[in-house]
Chains A and B, each alone.
Chain A
Amino acid sequence: MTSSRVAVLGAGGFIGSRVVESFHLQGWAEVRPIVRRISGLARSRRFNLDSRIADGCDAQALRAALAGCEYVVHAIAGDNATIVGTVEPVYRAAEHAGVRRIVYVSSASVHGQSPALGTDENTPLREDQPIAYNNAKVKAERRFLRMRANGRVEAVMLRPGIVYGPRSPWIGGFANELLTGRAFVVEGARGVCNSIYVDNVVRVIQLALTAPGVDGHAFLVGDEETVTWRELYEPVTRAFGIPFNEIPSIKGSVPAQSSFERMLCFRDSKLGQALLPVFPLRLRHAMYTGLAAWLQYQPGGSPYVMEAEPAPVPDLERTLLQTCAWKLPSDKAKHMLGYSPQVSFTEGCRRSVEWLRFAGYPVLHRDFSAA
């Protein structure tokens, strides 16, 4: 594989940057990092690599960027429009460049944040989930399959769960919450965390790029161990010397959508997409801005009321994730791709805490074993 050239789209992101780092340092392939804008090169230009600039929605720029590549890893993150909108340009550019296979880094979120017991790759996907990100990922997968049905480039979809590790928002974001006193968990964080250490994702991407007979398939992938959210978070709390039990645990609830959220849902719906272009852009922008400001308006209170920290309110995503009851299986990936997680959960947590130290967090303890 070392002679093959692999383009990594989204090379500046969390997963993409680790793919670049690992493929290059392992000497596994000749890597070509591709980012949307010049500033996105900061991570990949730590190496002396042939990096390119191309927006995932710009077919012409992508054609030039993918020229000479045999494989493409699509790890572009972004808003929902970007998730869906990059599929066709990337596929067409890959076809033009003679790429053999695209591996699309999708998400286990296509099955929802708290999938029903028994969920696996055969479970039908829905585009009317309450979280718009999930629907965007479903649409992107389906769009890839449609493109593949009429195109020459093979497509493989990977559905990792909660990807953690160096630069992961699940680790760094939680560390930020802890250190600013904003951390909380839902119902003791006892729900199943469908974790996968980022290097296990890198490993399965490697396999998916070259495994025979997997074209058009989607694979759920996760760590070997079944763990809870508490088990993911505890190494971070321990690193900062904060007992896990001191973190507020609140009851999960599925909050009703606010007016603003309902408006955003309408905007993203088919009807909204059809109707909104009728209104001038400035008017739409003014409407969103005005409504958001109105919803944030808080009238003044009594001067005798002592200011208190607002109680945390879990959003729908956090509630569903931390009350999840189902460990998504990786059996299909094991069977068809030969996937076997290389990094254990304990080791993944250890490396994550080491990264916190690297990043400048005030890590006090490096004891990763359970308390």
Chain B
Amino acid sequence: MNANMAPGQPVNVALLGCGSVCSIYHAPALEQLAQSGIVRVAGIFDPDGEAVARLTERFPSARRMSLADDLSGMDLAIVASPPAFHARQSIDALRAGVTVLCEKPMASSVKEGDAMIAAAAESRGLLAIALVRRFLPATQAVRSILANRMLGELRSVACFEGGPFRWPARSPSFFDRSQGGVFLDVGAHMLDLLVWWLGVPDGVNYEDDAMGGVEANCRFVLQYDSGIRVAGRLSRDWELPNRYLFDCAKGWMSWMPTEPESVQIGFHDTSFALGAELHDRTVSFGRPAAGRKSINFQQAFILQICNVVDAMHRRASLVASGADALKSLRLTHECYRLRKLMNMAWLTDIESATARAEAGRVP
């Protein structure tokens, strides 16, 4: 627990970065938690004064912070600034004795990620990463089904996420190289889930379509010594069904990120498939039963903050710690290190030659 935090008192939260992810996801979750007296948004920082003003309307008692490290009186910092600032702001907060919930991707490089974890260790602070999908009932169900081999041995996974890009980015800098492309963005979630479900792979292949800028498409293969093969595809360009498909010895399972409250399960020896909606487990007449419908995507943001607050009070451990996130960050950068240009067979010979030359210049 932070030294200045009293039990039973609301946790004082500083919001660092007032972009879309903050206004769309974190702020509504914090509003709910503030009503319950669990948190109080006490400070807001963003270089964009208008963005700060918009959030201050929602949290009138919050003070406008002149600097990101102006954290006096804060217990928890939610770092939702552009990824290039994640490490600096998180480390400053940790050194000030403030717990950190940092947006994904946790950092722009593995070196930065290492430094964040070192800062957390040195300060004996808590560093959580906003890998919110770990809080979804469906991803937990997938993990449990795979771990218990309920469909037999897993053979392969095929996953696709993306479509024409619609995220309401506030600045063209969203597409700067420092922010990475679709792989560092949505890929942070995809890789985290895969590592969480299956462990760190033993081999990787990766290719994308960045030609001097940031990738709109990428494809990767993760190979495990057990024989499991994962084929991943991400796009900001064209939409196919957003889906994770698990092929197992006895059947298959599918999860769609657009439907975080359900999974589909089929068996190789039947013509039926289960479209399973997830419910909280309950007891009825002394017997186990499906209770109320499980949480939705938005409510997962509430649980994510609650988990950090519980960890601050030593009532729980972090569901997604910095050390957890570093595994997938390492994998991301290993993929970038191995990157090849995707084969775009519609390009002419001249275009392909230029594309290869420009792709080679991507750091």
Partner-B contacts on A (CB < 8 A) = 21-22, 24-27, 38-49, 51, 53, 165-167, 172, 199, 351-352, 354-355, 357-361
Contact = CB atoms under 8 A, between A and B. Distances in A.
Interface string B329-363: 00000000000001111111011101100100100
20 contacts: A22-B348, A25-B211, A25-B354, A25-B358, A26-B354, A38-B171, A42-B236, A46-B181, A47-B211, A48-B361, A49-B212, A49-B213, A51-B172, A165-B346, A166-B346, A167-B238, A355-B346, A358-B345, A359-B240, A360-B160
Contacts of B352: 25
B345 A354 contact: yes
A359 B219 CA distance: 10
B209 interface: yes
Contacts of B216: 42-43, 45-46
B306 to A, nearest CB: 31
Contacts of A354: 345-346
A42 B166 CA distance: 9
Contacts of B346: 165-166, 199, 351-352, 354-355, 358
Contact of B240 (A41, A44, A167, A360): A360
B240 A361 contact: yes
B358 A42 contact: no
A351 B181 CA distance: 25
Interface of B: 160, 164-172, 174-175, 181-182, 209-217, 219, 233, 235-238, 240, 342-348, 350-352, 354-355, 358, 361
* Most chain B beta carbons < 10 A, residue from A46, A166, A351, A354: A46
A25 B351 contact: yes
B255 to A, nearest CB: 17
B358 A47 contact: yes
B55 to A, nearest CB: 20
Contact of B217 (A38, A51, A351, A358): A358
Contacts of A199: 346, 348
Closest 5 CB pairs of A and B: A354-B345, A48-B212, A42-B165, A25-B351, A45-B175
Contacts of A360: 160, 219, 233, 235, 238, 240
Nearest to A361: B240
B235 A45 contact: no
B148 to A, nearest CB: 30
A24 B358 CA distance: 11
A357 B344 CA distance: 10
A169 B355 CA distance: 25
A46 B345 contact: no
The binding surface of chain A is classed by DSSP as helix
Contacts of A26: 348, 350-351, 354
B351 A46 contact: no
By DSSP majority rule, is chain B's interface helix, strand, loop, or mixed?
A: loop
Contact of B172 (A41, A165, A166, A351): A41
Given A39-B168, A39-B169, A41-B175, A46 B343 contact: no
Contacts of B345: 351, 354-355, 357-358
Nearest to B362: A48
Given A38-B169, A42-B216, A47-B358, A358 B344 contact: yes
Contacts of A44: 213
Contact of A39 (B165, B212, B348): B165
B238 A359 contact: yes
B215 A46 contact: yes
A330 B88 CA distance: 60
A172 B181 CA distance: 23
A38 B166 CA distance: 9
B345 to A, nearest CB: 4
Contacts of B209: 46
Given A26-B351, A39-B166, A46 B344 contact: no
Contacts of A39: 165-169
Contacts of B236: 42-43
Nearest to B160: A360
A39 B211 CA distance: 18
Contacts of B215: 46
Q: Which of A26, A39, A199 has the most CB of B within 10 A?
A: A39
Nearest to A366: B345
Given A38-B171, A46-B213, A359-B240, A25 B233 contact: no
Nearest to B170: A38
A266 to B, nearest CB: 31
